[in-house]
Structure 1
């Protein structure tokens, strides 16, 4: 798979959900953990794209499917606050 953009290291606030995973935390949530993540926008092996994110310690990971690179970048901004300027083109 080809990688189109990366954010090599970014602190993300998350909430752990016992027995069901994790999710991004609201900025004012006092129960949030601050974890470093790596983000990538890759192709899905066809003609669409994935936003792939994994904590640097390997404990947390997920991805989401998108029709365009721009949709993947917009999802990262909405869910994690990652701005267009933070992405490095590959």
Structure 2
């Protein structure tokens, strides 16, 4: 799969447990864990994009499908507060 954008390590706040479900946490939530995650946006083998993210300790992981690269970037910004400018973008022609 082709990689379009990635972040090799970014600390984010999450709630939940690896085996029973988890989600992004609000900044003011005192119960949140802060963990380093790796984020990558790849193609889905057709015309869409996969957003894949995993904690660096390997315990937490998720992915989601998006019709456009901008949709994937918007989800990460809304969920984790990661601005599009934080991504290492790959040349789409490669």
Shift of 1:16: 1.1
* Matching residue of 1:50: 50
* Matching residue of 1:80: 80
**How does the TM-score come out when normalised to structure 2?**
0.90
What is the number of residues matched between the two proteins?
Answer: 90
Shift of 1:20: 2.4
Shift of 1:19: 5.5
Structure 2 gaps, min length 5: none
- Segments of 4+ in structure 1 off by > 6 A? none
Deviations 1:42-80 (A, max 9, x none): 011111001110000000000111000111001110111
Cα distance change of structure 1 residues 22 and 89 upon mapping to structure 2, 3 Å threshold: same
Give the aligned CA root-mean-square deviation in angstroms.
1.2
What is the alpha-carbon distance in structure 2 between the residues aligned to residue 41 and residue 79 of structure 1?
A: 15
**How does the TM-score come out when normalised to structure 1?**
0.94
